[in-house]
Structure 1
Amino acid sequence: MSSRLTGRTALVTGSTSNIGRSIALAFAAEGAHVIVSGRDAGRGAAVVDAIRHDGGRADFAAADLDGSPAGSHALAEEATRRLGGRVDVLVNNAGVFPAPSTLDTDEATFDHVYGVNVKAAFFLTQALVPPMIERGDGVVINLGSWITRLGVPRGALYASTKGAVETLTRAWAAEFGPRGVRVNAISPGVVNPPEIATSELGPRDALMVGTPAGRAGHPDAIGAAAVYLASDEASFTHGIVLDVDGGRTGVAVAAA
């Protein structure tokens, strides 16, 4: 076990599977005490067991983040209690991705996606940042998406929520950075399910044709980026959106 986050505590929302799970595992492997959070207690217990099996520290806190201030504040209180009175790192990862077309999106779906992807993160940050400010130290990491900057035919609603999250990242960096709280974001690219090894072809690799990476990524790459942003190595890093996307949004590889 490494030690880049030894002595730190962290809450990772939506960490019972995929990218959130990889972030929780990576944090714990670097010495952090992690709260694994999500709706599925069985999957949460499996992540906690995996962390503890490898010598790490983790607990599960059930949460169905619907965007209500009460739901976010309740999770903040539970995580703070389980972590001994402080949360040093908040990772706003929980999100939903229904992808109806704009013409097929009803109001209930619109409100649900904004509630989970934007409002929940907003009110969770609102609850956990004040103690960070009092200590003069803390980290917030938000999860954006590659489709906020590269338009695709479907998923406009989801893309707009992630655009909002990336804007909040910059605004919060300005609001909280001078008071000791670093705020940054990660923009994952096309990522295969975690069970697909990096040496294997996956169902989403076709979306990466013509990029430098040439294939989809693995959730562990996002976990590694989150460790960097949570660590002291990123102490001079404020308000960025770190693209971990294999070059999908920024580079075009021309055929020879």
Structure 2
Amino acid sequence: MSTTRTALVTGATAGIGRAVALQLASDGIHVIAHGRDPERGALLVEEITARGGTARFVTADLADADEVLALAEDAGEVEILVNNAGVYAFTTTPDTTPDSFDRQFAVNTRAPFLLVGALAPAMARRGRGSIVTITSTAATSPAPIGGAYGASKAAVELLTRSWATEFGPSGVRVNGVSPGPVRTAGTTAMLGEHVEVLGRANVRGRIGEPEEIAHVVRFLVDEASAYINGTVVVASGGELSSMPA
């Protein structure tokens, strides 16, 4: 019987999700990579295969609840779930449309909720499993824009702790990673050459890299972190505001 573990990683074709998929595959974990772009998905699978790993790509619109449930059914029994996919609109409250609000909560909060509901019971029956959700420091740092995004991430952080108490007694660990500013295609497209400015707000004085977040995820799904459950690990470079004067 094969001992290879299987991981479903949402939003795996770019940024943090891509780095997570590559990291897990390099450690011998079979990756089910989710995304919306089949071309990018094929390139990711090709890269993982070239590095000696195994993966397959599945597509789904996480704003559609039926597609989320179909994704869970397609994935089958997995040992690892990484809820990474997310959407954001850094707008003021008056400028946030109902459709934008609903989409952010559908993708950032409801999709992880449905995937955990569909996949965690089988993990619990087997007595093992690990779920990691990528949240954001926006969940705990109020700002004049992006309130809906921050609220959607705050909600999934609470769910993360709730799931840990719900499934923890059955051997399933549920944790989160809360990144600060990270260099991704999204942040680069939004800020262009000014993307480095984001890093000035932390103690390290620089923006994070997707691979650095992927290393934290890898630790949380490994047995080395077996005593960690219901925790959201902040990977932000250290907040300047929290340092003593």
Any unmatched runs of 5+ in structure 1?
Answer: 1-5, 81-85
Matches within 5 A, 1:154-233: 154-193=145-184, 203-233=194-224
- Of residues 89, 99, 113, the one that matches 2:80 is 89
Q: Deviations over 1:17-65 (max 9, x none)?
A: 0010000000001110001101100111111111111000110011111
Which amino acid counterpart does residue 5 of structure 2 have in structure 1?
R
The answer to whether 1:20 aligns with 2:17 is yes
| TM-score normalized by the length of structure 2 | 0.92
Corresponding residue SS for 2:90: coil
Offset of residue 208 of structure 1:
2.4
How many residues get paired? 239
- Of residues 4, 8, 24, the one that matches 1:7 is 4
Q: Deviations over 1:135-159 (max 9, x none)?
A: 0111110111011122222111000
- Of residues 101, 118, 122, the one that matches 2:92 is 101
Corresponding residue SS for 1:204: helix
Offset of residue 108 of structure 1:
1.5
Q: Deviations over 1:188-211 (max 9, x none)?
A: 1101127x9xxxx96322122252
Measure the CA separation in 2 of the matches of 1:209 and 1:251: 14
1:72 maps to which residue? Answer: 68
* 8 Å contact kept, 1:208–1:248: no
Corresponding residue SS for 2:89: coil
2:237 maps to which residue? Answer: 246
Which is further off, 109-118 or 223-232?
109-118
2:30 maps to which residue? Answer: 33
- Of residues 43, 46, 51, the one that matches 2:48 is 51
2:104 maps to which residue? Answer: 113
Offset of residue 79 of structure 1:
1.4
From the two aligned structures, give the one with the greater helix fraction.
2
Root mean square deviation of aligned Cα: 2.0
Which amino acid counterpart does residue 156 of structure 1 have in structure 2?
G
Corresponding residue SS for 1:25: helix
Corresponding residue SS for 1:26: helix
Measure the CA separation in 1 of the matches of 2:240 and 2:108: 21
Q: Deviations over 1:98-154 (max 9, x none)?
A: 222101112121111111111111011100011101101111101110111222221
Corresponding residue SS for 1:160: helix
